[in-house]
Every structure is written in structure tokens, then in C-alpha cells.
């Protein structure tokens, strides 16, 4: 158990819909990262937040957005969903941003878009 | 651009045999290097990491990895594989500030009895 929690574990929705994935980092961690794991693209970094502020962006689509709240939990919002958005979405957390740190991964949310 | 290559998509070894999983990276400077393991239905667990110093890194579960700058490689090894090691293994590289971590495509390990 990494200490990172993600909800829900599974999500089934239809094309065109919007969903919100939630992540609670390990106690004391200020940085949150979101990743997408799909069969064709592999594991891709989407976005990072540090203490409520966006820190870095990776291959995140414009239809996707994220935020980190004052209590440090984070949400990833996926809108206008397409079939290709079906994937496993991971959240990870680390202590800060001072230097490269270990990222601890949550168990993931499996999204299926029908 | 930075990238990570894991040449072997799938490897099968017998229980008790030794294991080596290959990882090559392409990066302007020596990046920070990681190996993660993902068991079916689970998140990623860090096995070991290399930032600097001794090029032979010890990790959890009896794994080790060796950084070879001349070959741009960071191969993962285990002297004797256990059935519980069957999983997917990911090599990853990250820049100094840890964002935009790049993962390899993964190597799926099957362990034969």
C-alpha cells in the first residue's frame, strides 16, 4: 500500500460525457502527478501539481483538466469523452519539487468509455 | 528528446533462474533512472532508483540494476526469480525536477514453474 488513494476504482461511461477522478496523496506529500496508461500509448505523464499550483504539463489533452485543492487532494476532469480515452489513470505523489524524488503511485482508476 | 527503450516486450524464465531486463535511454545528460513493477490490477511500485554515485543500485525484493553511462543502459537483474515476480516491469527516466517522467513500454515477465 503506497498511501496514495484513488477513487473510483472503475468507471464506465458513454462517449461525450464528463467524469472526475479523485486522488488523495500520501500524508505530507505536496506534489501530485497524473498519468494515463493505455495499450497503444503506454504510460504517459499528463500533469503535475505542487501545493495547489500547476507545475508541469505533459501529453494532456485540452479536454482534460486537473486541479489540486487546499487539502492537497487532486481531481482530474475528463470531458467530451471519446472511445480512445479508455485507459487506466494513475495518480502519484511525492514530497515536493526540490529535486527528483520517489513518486508513489496509487492503484489507479480504470475508465471505460462505451 | 528524452526517451526510454525496453527492447523486450515479453520474457519467460524458469523459477530459480536468473533474470536481466534491458533498458536503454536517450537523454542529453545523465537522467534520473527508475525501475517500477506493476502486478496485475495494481499500481506501480518502485523497485529501485539511480540518481548518482555507485552505479550498482540495490532495490527491494532482491533486485539490482547497473547504470552504464557508456551504453546508456540501466538493466535490471535478479539472481534467482520467484513465481511472485511475474509482473510487468517499467524503466523510467526523469529530468532533474522530476516532472515529465518518461516510461518505457514495459517488459512482461512470465515465470515458469
The reported pLDDT for the residue numbered A41 is: 86
Stronger pLDDT, B52 or B111, i.e. the higher one:
B111
Touching check for A41 and chain B: CB below 8 Å? no
Three-state DSSP at A75 gives strand
Written in H, E and C, the secondary structure of chain B is CCEEECCCCEEEEECCCCEEECCEEECCCCCEEEEEEECCCCCEEEEEEECCCCCEEECHHHCEEEEEHHHCEEEEEECCCCHHHCEEEEEEEECCCCCCCEECCCEEEEEEC
For residue B40, the chain A residue with the least C-alpha distance is A107
Proportion of chain B above pLDDT 70, given as a percent: 96
Nearest CB to B97: which of A4, A44, A97?
A97
Q: Over the stretch A71-88, which tens digit does the pLDDT of each residue have?
A: 999 999 999 999 999 999
Touching check for B53 and chain A: CB below 8 Å? no
**Is residue A17's pLDDT more than 90?**
yes
> What would the grid cell of residue A91 be?
495518480
Structure letter (DSSP) for residue A72: S
The reported pLDDT for the residue numbered B99 is: 67
B105 with A103: Cβ contact below 8 A: no
A58 with B106: Cβ contact below 8 A: no
CB A81 within 8 A of CB A16: yes
Q: What size, in residues, is chain A?
A: 114
Stronger pLDDT, B113 or B42, i.e. the higher one:
B113
Burial of B13-29, coded b for 16+ CB within 10 Å and e otherwise, reads beeeeebebbbbbebee
Amino acid at each position: 500500500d503506497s498511501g496514495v488513494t484513488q477513487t473510483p476504482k472503475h468507471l464506465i461511461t458513454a462517449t461525450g460525457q464528463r467524469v472526475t477522478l479523485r486522488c488523495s496523496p500520501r500524508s505530507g506529500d505536496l506534489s501530485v502527478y497524473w498519468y494515463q496508461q493505455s495499450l497503444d500509448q503506454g504510460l504517459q505523464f499528463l500533469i503535475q501539481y505542487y501545493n495547489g499550483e500547476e507545475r508541469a504539463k505533459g501529453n494532456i489533452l485540452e479536454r482534460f483538466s486537473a486541479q489540486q485543492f487546499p487539502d492537497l487532494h487532486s481531481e482530474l476532469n475528463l470531458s467530451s469523452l471519446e472511445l480512445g480515452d479508455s485507459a487506466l489513470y494513475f495518480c502519484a505523489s511525492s514530497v515536493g519539487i526540490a529535486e527528483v524524488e520517489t513518486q508513489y503511485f496509487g492503484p489507479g482508476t480504470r475508465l471505460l468509455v462505451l | 528528446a528524452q526517451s526510454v527503450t525496453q527492447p523486450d516486450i515479453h520474457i519467460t524464465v524458469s523459477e530459480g533462474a536468473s533474470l536481466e531486463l534491458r533498458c536503454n535511454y536517450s537523454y542529453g545528460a545523465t537522467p534520473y533512472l527508475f525501475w517500477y513493477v506493476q502486478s496485475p490490477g495494481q499500481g506501480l511500485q518502485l523497485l529501485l532508483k539511480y540518481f548518482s554515485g555507485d552505479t550498482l543500485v540495490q532495490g527491494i525484493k532482491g533486485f539490482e540494476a547497473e547504470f552504464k553511462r557508456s551504453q546508456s543502459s540501466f538493466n535490471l537483474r535478479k539472481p534467482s526469480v520467484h513465481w511472485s515476480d511475474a509482473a510487468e516491469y517499467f524503466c523510467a527516466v526523469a529530468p532533474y525536477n522530476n516532472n515529465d517522467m518518461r516510461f518505457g513500454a514495459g517488459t512482461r515477465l512470465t515465470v515458469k514453474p
